Amino acid sequence: MADTRAIRYFDHAATSWPKPPVVAESMIRAMEDAGGNPGRSAHELGLAAARTVERARSAVASLLGATDPRDIAFVPGCTEALNLVLKGGLKPGDRVIVSSVEHNAVVRPLAALAEAGIEVIRVASDEEGLIDPDAVELVLREQPARMVVCQHASNVTGAIQPVGDIADIAHEHGAVFVVDGAQSAGHLRIDLTDLGADAYAAPGHKGLLGPQGVGVLYLARGFEPQELVQGGSGGRSEDSRQPRTRPERYEAGTPNTFGIAGLGAAAEYLRAHGDEIRARERTLIRRLVDGLSDIAGIRVLGPRAGSERVPVASVVHSTREPDEIAFALDRRYGIAVRAGVHCSPWTHEAIGTAETGAVRFSVGWSTTDDDIEVALQAMAEACA
């Protein structure tokens, strides 16, 4: 077994690690004390499981500012949530406008939909990877669309998109607005009542600090995409059609109760400590970006120094390949980063790094001042 105490973990944008201890504790407790099938069996263990799921739903709703917990569906992940919204909210002949910096979780379902007769129009970002709301408006004025899709924050550059302004523009032009919140949930304070998104998708395992295998889909009232999966919901079983009620419509089959228990505990943890965690992440990423920018040959991608970003910073070096740097950091210093294109070839195309990819550092709730110092020293040596 690896000695994980020695790892300096800079891969929170891929998945947060470690998790707050309450996460595993609540998963084990659910397995032991709430091991029935939630919403199905009326015996004590089934009811305990249902209470576990509903408590988690309320915690997540409250963390993300959704007024009605029924507007939160638990799904297997952010990718599944995005697939649901795109495939269930668009039909052949529709047009969708999408930012040019999306992750493959958006790009690939849209490529499949394009083959099924849906027109996909990309709005270019600037060289920092930011989307200008006026550019979205320009397209919408000429080419009305059913849907506008934009990430909240980039998993490559850390850029935070002006989603509130894009939401207003989408709505003025009669489009629904879908937000990929994979890199914002947990790392930014989210108020879904205010954000203007008709759909917001988030993985439970990144900034929300839960386990892998459960994600969150928020749907505003009035946006009712077709469900992706039909099946048992525990109620109205005599009806062969999928229920239209929330959240049952979007949660066919037995859920990941233990994963949801972990996510619920993580959401409660973030409700108590989120502001403090976010403030620390902002300080640490700023220090990391400043330090990396000072190393000869290094270019930090994305928002210019001093701009707000989620705690993600990707870099390229004038002569060293990203893989070479990541390998050296791992083997020589026990520093875990991610090299490559991060499932986001569109973003790398937009910012001019499609050929090389980049080395990505992402910090999180468990990152320390010492981690930053060690990483900067290691980068200076690895790039010397």
Please report, as ranges, the residues that interact with ligand PMP according to CB under 6 A: 77-79, 103, 105, 151, 155, 180, 182-183, 203, 343
CB of 128 to ligand PMP, least distance (A): 16
78, 150, 343, 383: the active-site residue: 343
The residue among 37 and 104 lying less far from ligand PMP, judged by its C-beta, is 104
The residue among 183 and 257 lying less far from ligand PMP, judged by its C-beta, is 183
CB of 342 to ligand PMP, least distance (A): 7
The residue among 147 and 382 lying less far from ligand PMP, judged by its C-beta, is 147
The residue among 103 and 249 lying less far from ligand PMP, judged by its C-beta, is 103
CB of 281 to ligand PMP, least distance (A): 16
Q: Which tokens is 290 given?
A: 């400043």
CB of 258 to ligand PMP, least distance (A): 18
Between 44-64 and 21-33, two packed helices, what is the crossing angle to 10 degrees? 150
The residue among 14 and 170 lying less far from ligand PMP, judged by its C-beta, is 14
Phi/psi of residue 9, each to 5°? Answer: -95, 115
- Angle at 128 (CA atoms; ends 154, 12), nearest 5 degrees: 30
CB of 5 to ligand PMP, least distance (A): 26
> Is 343 an annotated catalytic residue?
yes
Catalytic residues: 343
